[in-house]
Amino acid sequence: MTTFPPPSSTAFGAQFPVSRPRRLRRTPALRRLVAETRLHPADLVLPMFVKESLSEPSPLGSMPGVLQHTRDSLKAAAAEAVAAGVGGLMIFGIPSVRDAQGSAATDPNGILNLALADLEAEVGDATVLMADLCLDEFTDHGHCGVLDENGAVDNDATLLRYADMALAQAEAGADLLGTSGMMDGQVGVVRQALDFAGMTDTGVFAYAAKYASAFYGPFREAVDSALIGDRRTYQQDPANRREAAREVALDVAEGADLLIVKPAMSYLDVLSDTAASVDIPVAAYQVSGEYAMVEAAAQHGWIDRDRAITETLTSIRRAGASIILTYWATEVATKLKAGI
């Protein structure tokens, strides 16, 4: 018969712990029961690229598993993602012809607007269709806006182009417009343009805190970027945290329906700040460089790929994102749906 306390419990002055957090980590079922953060397929949004000049899908060397799509392959991949349960699709278009004004962005027969119409007809009732509202894929200089006579991005002239883009994308069938250009006043101008045209149901998915990041590198390949130089005069300085709060407040005041923080993993503090400060949904974009680092390390056998993917997404969700844009959306949603 065991006596209490056991004679050895105070040997060498040691005492048994009163609290044992490890009890709730002992089995997978216990860990699942008490998990504070969960991923769900509907939390995930898949960014997708459609390129006008392609006759078949083209793999991206810097982003294994990601493709530049044709219109047909885009529809097939979108249907697969929707069947897996992803919450939405963010579409980027790559035209055959570019000019200084990014004219293809507002052309109803431009690749992005045609692709949006394709997807609205194919899966529109089953998902949230999102469009990237930015000029960088469409300009021959690769900047997110039009340039003035000195070669600098002209903020207010760009806003006029964004207003026209908003109308074209909404007309093509987009549910949400991703204002990613980081021009001052972009959310307000887009909202006004939509409302004046009677498109009050089309939402604005505002890139409220978008940083001038090195982690966008592979994305430049994905959109065949023509950029020379950088975007530091309009995207945020990675050194600044409080500045993001100002950007967020402005976008909310201008009528944003949802907010995005981009990139995700190097800016989890900004993401947490943002989620705590607003009462509208907050997303984070797990960008191309974050994706590429995990894939490259996994290919070398340096990390466990599946665990790393889950851990990165969980960290973003834990920091406050209710929505995550990730190139793994279909894969992860499929596994979550299967209980893997």
What is the distance between the alpha carbons of residues 112 and 110, in angstroms, rounded to a whole number?
A: 6
User: Can you say how many angstroms the Cα of residue 245 is from the centroid of all Cα atoms in its chain?
Assistant: 19
β-sheet bridge partners, residue 268? none
**Could you give the residue numbers annotated as active site?**
210, 262
| Beta carbons within 8 Å of 214's beta carbon, 6+ residues apart | 289
| Beta carbons within 8 Å of 257's beta carbon, 6+ residues apart | 176, 203, 204, 205, 206, 280, 281
- 23: DSSP letter: G
> How deeply is 91 buried, as exposed, middle or buried, from its count of CB atoms within 10 A (0-12, 13-18, 19+)?
buried
User: For the packed helices 186-196 and 155-172, what is the interaxial angle rounded to 10 degrees?
Assistant: 40
Concatenated DSSP letters of 269-316: HHHHHHHHH-SS-EEEE--HHHHHHHHHHHHTTSS-HHHHHHHHHHHH
What are the angstrom distances between the C-alpha of 303 and each of 157, 281, 294, 300?
Answer: 47, 32, 8, 8
What is the distance between the alpha carbons of residues 339 and 230, in angstroms, rounded to a whole number?
A: 43
